[in-house]
Structure 1
Amino acid sequence: MPKALPVIDVNAPICCDPVSAAPMSDADALELALRLKALADPARIKLLSVLLTADGGEVCTCDLAAGVDLAESTVSHHLGQLRKAGMVASERRGMNVFHRARAESLQALRVVLDPDCCR
């Protein structure tokens, strides 16, 4: 059975200074690694891509499942991992759950990995 990800505070901004600024502490390295680990799955990358390009900025779980050709339960699992890492926000509306990418979280990762990227 895969090892569960430790819980990180997704309300807090990304952990630390850019990796090129100075050697990272163990705690900062762990927090960054957990966020990157959440992205280290092709299905999660594809889900984020769909969410980031969606009209209106959000998508229902049922529509995501059809869009990535996975079962709703599998999509829910992947979205849960992305949510724990602070990359997706979800909101229940009646019988459906709508998800949106937290682009600011991805931007924070870009800055930590390469502060000169995308300027």
Structure 2
Amino acid sequence: MITPPDVFKSLSDETRARATLLIASLGELCVCELMCALNDSQPKISRHLAQLRSIGMLLDRRQGQWVYYRLNPELPTWVSEMLEVTTQANAEWLQINVSRLQSMEDRPVRAAACC
């Protein structure tokens, strides 16, 4: 069970906060997309994503060479609502990251969802 200290401690880091809010607003993103959006290295991004995954905030899946992250659909309602409100209220704060992602060349193509 995810607790308030888990959530707030994990989101107290700017990289994890930005990654989580980008995923919350844009849906599933791969490590390379987050590297571009956050302008950071693969080891750093992966380490932060692993922390978010370890508390149950994110889920991952592998598709070929790519690892994609998404919000855990079983997050408690209070977490989902908090992320939604925070994302909407901070679009300007995330704009530089969204702009970088939109200008990314050769973004990976997601496979169609199964069944």
What is the TM-score of this pair, normalised by structure 1? 0.59
Offset, 1:100:
0.6
**What is the root-mean-square deviation of aligned Cα atoms in Å?**
2.1
Partner letter of residue 51 of structure 1?
Answer: I
**Sequence identity of aligned pairs in percent?**
28
Q: In the alignment, is residue 83 of structure 1 matched against residue 48 of structure 2?
A: no
Partner letter of residue 38 of structure 1?
Answer: S
Offset, 1:36:
2.5
* Distance verdict in 2 for CA 1:45–1:107, change over 3 Å: farther
Runs (5+) with no aligned partner, structure 2: 82-115
State the distance in 1 between where 2:56 and 2:38 align: 21
Question: What is aligned with 1:38?
Answer: 10
State the distance in 2 between where 1:106 and 1:40 align: 19
Q: 1:87, 1:106 within 8 Å by CA — same for their partners in 2?
A: no
Higher helix share: 2
Offset, 1:110:
7.2
Runs (5+) with no aligned partner, structure 1: 1-11, 15-30, 112-119
Q: Please give the per-residue CA displacement for 1:6-63, whole angstroms capped at 9, x wherever unaligned.
A: xxxxxx4x4xxxxxxxxxxxxxxxx542332222211111001110111xx2111101
Partner letter of residue 37 of structure 2?
Answer: G
Count the aligned residue pairs. 81
Q: Please give the per-residue CA displacement for 1:60-112, whole angstroms capped at 9, x wherever unaligned.
A: 1101110011111111000000001111110011111011122652634478x
Aligned residue among 28, 31, 47 for 1:61: 31
- Max Rg structure: 1
What is the TM-score of this pair, normalised by structure 2? 0.61
Question: What is aligned with 2:88?
Answer: none
Q: 1:52, 1:103 within 8 Å by CA — same for their partners in 2?
A: no
* Distance verdict in 2 for CA 1:36–1:81, change over 3 Å: same
